[in-house]
Amino acid sequence: MNKKTQTADHTYDAIVIGSGISGGWAAKELCEKGLKTLVLERGRDVRHKIDYPTMHTPPWEFPIRGQLPLAVKEENPIVSRCYAFKDDADHFFVKDKEHPYVQEKPFDWIRGYQVGGKSLLWARQVQRWSKYDFEGPERDGFAVDWPIRYEDIAPWYSYVERYIGVSGNKDGLETLPDGEFLQPWEMNKVERDIQERILGAYPDRKFIIGRCAHLTAPAAHHIAQGRGQCMARSLCQRGCPFGAYFSSNASTLPAAAATGNLTLRPHSVVHSLIYDDVKGKVTGVRVIDAETLESTEFFAKIIFVNASALNSNLILLNSVSDRFPNGLGNDNGLLGKYIAFHNYRGSISASVDRHLDSYYLGRRPTAVMLPNFRNVKRQEMDFLRGYMSFYSAGRKGWGSSRDTNFGPEFKDANSALGDWSVYMMMQGETIPKETSRVTLDPNEKDKWGIPLLRVDVGYDDNDEKSLADFLEQGVDMLKKAGCYGITTRDSKQAPGLDIHEMGGVRMGRDPETSLLNGYNQMHLCENVFVTDGACMTSTGTQNPSITYMALTARAVDYAVNAAKRGEIR
């Protein structure tokens, strides 16, 4: 059965594709502004608390202590590379065979198809962009100029931060603007020592405690959401029963539902957007039921595409019509191009033999971080842009001995504390290139009849130079911090494992060189908005999710007001 009639029960004021971090925000904002809103999620329903099956399971109740059987890993070589793909959370990940794609270059596409998407699995690190990040492409000559500046999005950062709850310090850094913060997490003694020594050697390199979407001291409106304080369990990937970290499931989707304006439809695989050549606009969304394969159509005046970066590209590329034979709004041929990501390949390990009379308390859900210090205000290196750095320190011991003897000696060896270990890593900006792209396979289709996505994204010489600089500078900083036994590592991991893929439907000022305007509105389809990672013009060095959320809230405000003015028909 193919429902094509625009009936009342299939017509809404707005449709949101995807229920993850940005889709949840779109749903909340649209519903709270009075729009009857349909949220389409291709995965199953996951209800807060009710559908977190392992949230309280102790480690000894997992058959192999949380790890997965070898057969499962062999069947899932891609998703198995993700640090959180373990027995306590594998039910929140897409297995390799469930939604295949074509890798023209190695690319690890990590996905979570369920209500809430990857907001159940994200690392929860939230840093604002600075003015230098939005000005970067114009200043440094890569990508295209962002159509917005920091001042345009700053109030929306504040709006989002207050709502979700962000732990952090007011650090006064120009390169990492302060936000609306709850009580910060604390560095341990060795981390503070390293921070002070590096700052003494490099006055422009101030490491700060990480900013994360965890409720350290819930405000009244967080409690009203039914959310509670973070218990520092470090079991976040299981789903948080306290709602202590921000997720769509614990926060934005319940807020949308509370308005009475939300219709949530799981098991709804979006095939394409429906463009009406006569009306000159998108009228709705074509959906394939994930279980029955039945085709259905839903209709709305406003469409938000938030399926996650690569799936949003896939949907728009598959949205063909007489007017747009190469994908929706794709007159310039740039849809699916200029994909970028974050370079996580570099890491450094070291040891510290000071403060041996000290230990630490709890499992803090964030690290110590340093904003990018390369090419910030001008081009000064032989590579473009730069990287953020993160480190953390912990005490060695407690079961680290590899002695095979048993008995009192084994117990003593594994209960003795050693020196401190230090781990540092990079999060590097990569440069969007036209050759980094996704396309639709001309022959192969998935089980829902949708073309497979072909991914052609890789590293380049710029990434190698940035990596080398991080390793060199990181070693130098740790030496000046009095560390010893310093070793470097290039993981050589494929792009995608960072889970920060961005671009393909980029924002810009000129319809000839971009797909979206400064409000995330498609240049050539005025009632379609894209506010997930696909919209990003460049990647910055920060974790991107807080920027997606702020862009989404801002775009909804614009879209609703534009509709009231009659600018969106």
CB 533 within 8 A of CB 500: yes
CATH topology of domain 2-167+210-344+431-458+494-564: FAD/NAD(P)-binding domain (3.50.50)
CB 242 within 8 A of CB 235: no
Q: Provide the token pair at 286.
A: 């074509």
pLDDT, greater one: 377 or 409:
377
214 secondary structure, DSSP code: B
456/437 Cα distance (integer angstroms): 5
**Distance in angstroms between the alpha carbons of the first and the last residue of the chain:** 30
SS3 string, 59-71, reads HHHCCCCCCCCHH
At residue 511, the 3 state secondary structure works out as: coil
Nearest to 47 by CA among 123, 122, 120, 124: 120
| Average pLDDT score over residue span 168-194 | 98
369/353 Cα distance (integer angstroms): 22
DSSP code string of 8-41 = GGGEEEEEEE--SHHHHHHHHHHHHTT--EEEE-
Whole-number pLDDT of residue 417: 85
| Average pLDDT score over residue span 178-197 | 98
Helix (H) or strand (E) holding 73: helix 70-75
Whole-number pLDDT of residue 5: 52
* In the chain, where the domains are located: 2-167+210-344+431-458+494-564
pLDDT at residue 66 tops 90 = no
| Average pLDDT score over residue span 177-198 | 98
| Average pLDDT score over residue span 219-241 | 96
| Average pLDDT score over residue span 535-553 | 98
Among positive and negative, which fits the CA dihedral 329, 331, 336, 338? negative
Q: At 378, is the pLDDT very low, low, confident or very high (cuts 50, 70, 90)?
A: very high
As a whole number, the mean pLDDT across the chain is 96
At residue 443, the 3 state secondary structure works out as: strand
Specify the residue for token string 């959310």. Answer: 227
pLDDT at residue 4 tops 90 = no
pLDDT at residue 509 tops 80 = yes
Using alpha carbons, list the distances in angstroms from residue 337 to 314, 441, 461, 513: 12, 15, 19, 11
Whole-number pLDDT of residue 3: 47
Whole-number pLDDT of residue 505: 98
pLDDT at residue 345 tops 60 = yes
Q: At 77, is the pLDDT very low, low, confident or very high (cuts 50, 70, 90)?
A: very high
Whole-number pLDDT of residue 1: 37
Q: What is the share, in percent, of the chain residues with pLDDT greater than 70?
A: 97
Residues 6 or more apart from 177 whose CB is under 8 A from it? 128, 129, 130, 150, 154, 157
Amino acid identity, position 17: I
CB 198 within 8 A of CB 352: no
Whole-number pLDDT of residue 403: 56
pLDDT, greater one: 1 or 517:
517
Q: At 404, is the pLDDT very low, low, confident or very high (cuts 50, 70, 90)?
A: low
Whole-number pLDDT of residue 395: 93
Q: At 8, is the pLDDT very low, low, confident or very high (cuts 50, 70, 90)?
A: confident
pLDDT at residue 156 tops 90 = yes
